[in-house]
Structures are given as structure tokens and as C-alpha cells.
Amino acid sequence: MAQRSGGEHRCVEAPARRSGGKAAASPEKALNCCVRSVALVERAGNALGTLAFTWATVVLLGGYPTVLRPTDDFWFATTIVFLEAARMFSRNNRLDYQVFFHTRGAARSLGWKGLVIIIPPAALRVVLALVRLIPHNYYGDGDDTTGDKTNLAPSLNIFYGMVLGQGILYLVACTLDIFTFIPRRSIARHGGFEGQLGMESINLYHGYVLEKCMERDALAPKKISLSSFAMDSLNSDSPRMQLHGIRLMHNLLQTEPAKTQLLAKLTTSANTSARLINMLDWTHPRNTTIRLFAAKVTAELAKGLRVVTTPGLIQSVSALLDCGNKVRGRGNPLMDTDDEQEAMHDPVLNVSDNHEERCIAVPDSGNLLETQDRSTQQVGTTEQSSEEEPLAETDQDLLCSLLWQCQFYTIWLVVIRATLLHRLTSINGETGIMLRHKVSKHAFLLRNLAKILEDCTSSQESRKLVAGILRNLAVDGNTRQEIGCIQVVITRLMQEFLSLCRPSATHADHVLQKVAGQALAMLAMESVHNSSVILNETGHVFIKELTTMIHDDRYRCVAASLLRSMCLHARPELDESDLQAISYSVREVLERIMNAEGAELEILIGLSSEICKVIPEDFARELEHGYIKDRFVKRLVNALNANMEPSAHYPGIRRVIIQQAINMMEHDPCYASCFGNCRMAEAVSMVEETASKAENYSIFLGDVGLMEHREPLTSLVARVKQLLAVRPIQQPSIST
């Protein structure tokens, strides 16, 4: 696993493909030969049966109806005729024929104990024929000369002989079918068919080959393969067969030449390709496994797809991109918006099916990505053992990651590409780390994102998506610095966030403004360079704008985070007007801390801690003159005690509280007595005992922490204990 600086690391390595070979080249070849042998023997038996049926009805029952002995031959012939008629007419009913007359599966091996025969008609034919052929007493024991019996005996011999031959051929076919277990096991071993579902697929293919061999001409060449079976299964109406078909396709794509053969058939079969693409849009929970494998197969098929030949492709892929994103938010006000979590407009789903109308509906802003290397390696190895099992979160993410791997460069329009990148860069966990790493490696990506932001004709939706992509990519330290070096990106994000070019504001404008602010907040985190660039972009109007936005519920967290970064990383560049604006905001920040909870509380305390360092006198004066010092200190201690269990939504809340206390006590040791009277020492001792690795990160995406702090929490605890230990003369106590 490769490690990257800047907070994101652990690149996931894709598994290697299975090597090819003679066995892997055509694992079904041996089985096809065995099944063809079974089919030929069974067809020979069917031919004898049909001939016997005709012979009995025309020659025996038609020519000798009065001389056939009613005690034996008449009823024997009649029984055999009806048995054969049932076989012939049941061909129209597949289920009846397979249950009563099919040779496949008629006999099963019991190891060393022998065989058990389960379609009795084959044995019945042999028994009936032998019962009359062996005694050979067609005329009876007497001298009955009723009727003309000329050629009766030869006629019966021929009839019973054909029935005996038919029965023997059926039994031979049953026996040969037993030995197909050898090539079936070979397919399972060399073709990667594992588990119960894999063996079930092989058995279904066995029946498929036999059925094909029993159709039409016996000796005509038939192109029967696993790929053709997979395609026919995919096109069936049975959900179980569809699952087998799509899993089989995925298996075949792991080896050559099976992969080449399957892809060649898929690209020339419009119906199958359309069915495969439509599976991406199957949103019912019972179809989640089929949907996952459809994405995997589509990832391999993508290079040969065309919009005009695959109806519904864009809509289906767009729906697939939405999977998982709307059902789980990340809970971080710097990474989420209500618009993105609940009702993010996807223009692709409302665009006409006509290709030309699509091009008109989407602004032409150039490619987001230039065509790069066409990697088709599978990402991850998670597969489901049955269709009833729900997809794990990693599998939901895998659906999107597979689309990134397939690179639909021949079909994506600008907004679709942006939507894809936005979904990919929003993915949580290890998969998200890997995908953001892959996306950020594209040399032309940031340049083209900047062009879309710079283009005045680009749609608001496009700019919002681009701002979200930049925000998501900025969680990585290296990418954060790279983005900050592109001046036009900072300029355009600042304009969107501060609404400098917007005469009026709609709901969509506010959403874009918030996402742009989030992108700036992520760029400024832990970056002296980016903070300086952002501050200097507007000639120091920025600080005043931020202090105003803190009063607005919609932008409070974003503005507070940005103001904190300015105080932390750009302190030498703040002028008197900036410091004065910050001073005016102190009371609002302190009052908000009294009522805030969760992530908002963490962000506001982080800001107040930095304000305490930048303008300590103004901060202390606001505490004293506002008569909120006692309340504020108790609020900090109570919040520390209330957050002994770290949350992924605000992992650094205890860290910022302790840092706030340190900054206050370092400025004025008298605060040590205030904290001591509120039992701060006991609270930080509990923090020391329950310190968690999760508290070393600024944000979490899923279960992965990003932006690791340089100083461990235990060091801050030690510092605050030291300051509490040297507190001055006791101050008037604060009532608890």
C-alpha cells in the first residue's frame, strides 16, 4: 500500500487477472462433446421410438387388430404406443418432458454403491420388450387359426426389437450423462465457478447444451458456448437466470480468449447490450447483486458502446451514479449541503432521448478530462454469494468506481462527466481515497475544471458540480496545494462565494455560494499559502464579509472555518481593518457557542480559540464586559464532559476546547482559577484516559480520517494540566 502526504493514503491495489491456458481457453469444450454424445444417443432412441410408434399403429394395430392376442400382445403394443405418444406430444411441454422422458439426470451415481434410476419409461420399454421377445409365443399354445397371421411373428419381432433398442439407447444415454460430472468439475476448477451458485450455473449450462443439441438437425454444427448461454440467460424473463447470466459474464471476462469472444458478441447484440445497460437502472433491493455485476460487465464493455445504438444508456448510468449518495450523508457542514443530500438536480435524467437535443441541453465547455490510458482492471473483489444478500457500503461505492475504470469517453457529455467526477470524489472510505488519488493524477483535470469556472456561459449546475469536485479533492494535502496555485480557481470561487457578480439570489444561487465557500474552506485548511492567496484576492474585504456571514445560519460554519484559517495561517497579513472586523464578531461567536452543538460547536470554538490568540485583549474585554466569562468557562467544561466519546461528524471537539482553554490561560493566568473552580482538571484527566486515535484527524469520510494533526491530543492535555497546576491566588468561585 502506497502512502501519500497531506492526510490521504493507502492506495488500493487491484487484483491480478487469472492467467490463461488451454484449460481456461475453452473450459466448456469437453462438456460440449460429452453432451453431444448423450444427445446423439437420445436422438437415436427417439428415432427408434417414433418408428416403433408408426410400426405399431400402421402394421400391428392397423393390420392385425383381430389376431393380436388380447391377453398380451394387443395390450403390450397399445401400452407402448400410448407411452411413445406421451413422449412425442410432451415435447411441447418442456417441464413434463424433462421430468418423465429426458435422459439428462435420469441416473445418478451413488459412489461405490452403484446407480439409482429415477424417468421409469426407459426401463419400462426394455422390460415390456423382453417379456414378449424371450418367450416368443405370439401364436399361443393352442392351434387357434382365427384370422390371417401371416408375417405376424416377424412384425412383432421388429416392433419389440425397436422398443428394446430404444430403451437400451436411453439407458446408454443416461449412463453417459453420469460421466459428464468430469468435464463439469473441470469447468468449475478452471473457469472460476465457485460455491453453490457456481455449480448451479454449470448444471444449467449442461441442460442448455443438451437442449440445443436436441433441436433441429442432429449432425448440423452448432455454436454453443458459455458466452451464448450467458447472453440467453441475461435475456430471459427469470430473475434467477438473469443472475446466473450476469455472474457468468463477469466470470468469462476474467480470462482470454473467453473475454474477447464475449465482448465481440455483446458489441454486436443490441438487445443484450440494452438489457445490460437497463440493469444499471434496476433500483429494487432484490436486484442489487445483479446491478453490481451489471456495472462490472459494463465496465469492460464500455469501450465499444455508442449512444445511438444503446437506448437509455445515459439515463441508466446517471441513475447508477446516484446510488448510495442520497441515502447517506457525511454529516460534515464543510462537505455536505442539503441540496446534495436530498435533491441534487441531475439534468441528465431530464434530457430528451434524442442525442442532438442532449448536446443542446448541456453547455459546451470542453472535455473535463483528456483521453488517458484506458484502464479496465477491476476495483475490489467484493462479490455476493446470493441475490438475497444486501450490498455493503463498499459495494455501493464500487458501482461508481467501476464506471470510473471503464472511462466512457466516447459518450459522456460535460455535465455527465462532472456528475460522475462529483460522485466519485464524494465516495467515503478506502475506495474514496483510491478514486480521489486516481482522479487527481489526470494532468488536464484541474485545467479543465478551471476553464468551466472561468467560462461565463457555463451553466450554474456545471459550476456547482465543479466547486464540489474541487472541495472533495482538497481533502488531500498535495492536491490542495496544487489547486491553490491556480489563481483563476481561487478568483472564481471567491466571486461565487461572495456573490460579487450576482445581481439577485435564488435558492440555486445560495447552494452554489455555499459549495464554493466549502471549497475555499477546504483549500484554506492547514495551508499557509492558500490562506494568503484567498485573503489577498479581494484586497482585505474578505474578513469583513466573513464576519457578516457568521450571522447567517446558512453560511455560519463555512464562514467560521474560513475566518479561523485566516487567523491561524495568515495572521501577519491581517491589517487594522481586518482585526477590527474580527473584534466586532467576538460577541456573536461567543453567544453562538452557548447554544451550538456538534460540528457547529467544534467549528465555532476553533474560531474563538484563534481569535483569543490574534486579539487577546479584545477577546478578554468581551468576556468581562459582556458578563459571560463564567458562563463561557462552564460551557467549555460541560461540552468537554459531554463529548467523551468522539464522533466521526466532529472528531476534534475536545481538541479545540482544550486549545481554547490553553490560549485563555496563557494570555491571562487568572483564567486558570476559573477553569479550576469548574473542575477542569477532572475533565482533562478523563480526556487523557479516553483519548482516541480518531481525535487526531480534522474530518472523517466514512471510517477514514483525513488531515491528521501534527500535535497529539495527549500533548495538549499535558499542557493544560501544567497551566492549571500553577494557577494564581483563588478567584471568586463560579457556581456549578
pTM (2 d.p.):
0.61
Amino acid at 691: A
pLDDT value, residue 91: 59
Rounded to whole angstroms, how far apart are CA atoms 659 and 564?
A: 13
Poorest-confidence range of 109-123, 427-441, 698-712? 109-123
- Compare 219 and 529 and report the one with higher pLDDT: 529
Poorest-confidence range of 51-60, 407-416, 654-663? 407-416
pLDDT value, residue 177: 84
Q: Per-residue pLDDT for 242 more than 80?
A: yes
pLDDT value, residue 269: 80
Q: Quick one: what percent of the chain has pLDDT higher than 70?
A: 71
Contacts 24+ apart (CB under 8 A), 707-714: 707/7, 707/475, 707/477, 707/525, 707/526, 708/7, 709/652, 709/655, 713/654, 713/655, 713/658, 713/687, 714/688
- Compare 123 and 344 and report the one with higher pLDDT: 123
Span 582-591, average pLDDT: 94
What does DSSP assign to residue 499?
T
pLDDT value, residue 507: 84
Q: Per-residue pLDDT for 614 more than 60?
A: yes
Poorest-confidence range of 86-95, 225-234, 612-621? 86-95
pLDDT category, 641, cuts 50, 70, 90?
A: very high
Span 629-645, average pLDDT: 93
pLDDT value, residue 387: 39
Q: What is the helix (H) or strand (E) element at residue 610, kind and residue range?
A: helix 598-614
Q: Per-residue pLDDT for 510 more than 50?
A: yes
pLDDT value, residue 336: 80
Rounded to whole angstroms, how far apart are CA atoms 597 and 242?
A: 50
pLDDT category, 527, cuts 50, 70, 90?
A: very high
pLDDT value, residue 101: 53
pLDDT value, residue 319: 55
- Compare 45 and 345 and report the one with higher pLDDT: 45
Domain parsing of the chain, residue ranges: 22-140+150-182
Q: Per-residue pLDDT for 116 more than 80?
A: no
Poorest-confidence range of 157-171, 198-212, 273-287, 565-579? 273-287
Encode pLDDT of 367-410 as tens digits: 444 433 333 333 333 333 333 344 444 555 555 555 555 444 53
Q: Per-residue pLDDT for 629 more than 80?
A: yes
Poorest-confidence range of 96-105, 192-201, 407-416, 432-441? 407-416
Contact predicate 302/284, CB 8 Å: no
Q: Per-residue pLDDT for 55 more than 50?
A: yes
pLDDT value, residue 375: 33
Cell for 585? Answer: 464578531
Rounded to whole angstroms, how far apart are CA atoms 162 and 48?
A: 6
Strand partners, 116: 108
Strand partners, 115: 109
Q: Per-residue pLDDT for 615 more than 90?
A: yes
pLDDT value, residue 90: 63
Poorest-confidence range of 43-57, 278-292, 363-377, 455-469? 363-377
Amino acid at 272: T
Question: CB atoms < 10 A from the CB of 83, how many?
Answer: 19
- Compare 201 and 277 and report the one with higher pLDDT: 201
Rounded to whole angstroms, how far apart are CA atoms 528 and 534?
A: 10
Out of 53-57, 240-244, 603-607, give the one with best mean pLDDT.
603-607
Span 82-96, average pLDDT: 65
Q: Per-residue pLDDT for 533 more than 90?
A: yes
Cα dihedral sign, 250-251-254-258? negative
Cα dihedral sign, 72-77-78-80? positive
CA atoms within 13 Å, Cβ hemisphere of 536: 13
pLDDT value, residue 353: 37
Q: Rounded to a whole number, what is the largest CA-CA distance in the chain? A: 141
Span 687-692, average pLDDT: 92
Q: Per-residue pLDDT for 712 more than 80?
A: yes
Contact predicate 13/434, CB 8 Å: no
Encode pLDDT of 406-435 as tens digits: 444 533 445 566 777 888 888 888 888 888
Encode pLDDT of 340-349 as tens digits: 443 344 433 3
Mean pLDDT of the chain, nearest integer: 76
Q: Quick one: what percent of the chain has pLDDT higher than 90?
A: 29
Q: Per-residue pLDDT for 701 more than 70?
A: yes
Rounded to whole angstroms, how far apart are CA atoms 257 and 265?
A: 13
Distance of CA 182 to the CA centre of its chain: 36
Encode pLDDT of 132-179 as tens digits: 778 777 765 555 555 666 777 788 888 888 888 888 888 888 888 888
Which residues lie closer than 8 Å to 382 by C-beta, 6 or more apart? 392, 394, 395, 398
Poorest-confidence range of 99-103, 109-113, 353-357, 389-393? 353-357
Poorest-confidence range of 105-114, 228-237, 631-640? 105-114
Which residue's entry shows cell 447508477?
A: 320
Rounded to whole angstroms, how far apart are CA atoms 13 and 2?
A: 9
Q: Per-residue pLDDT for 709 more than 70?
A: yes
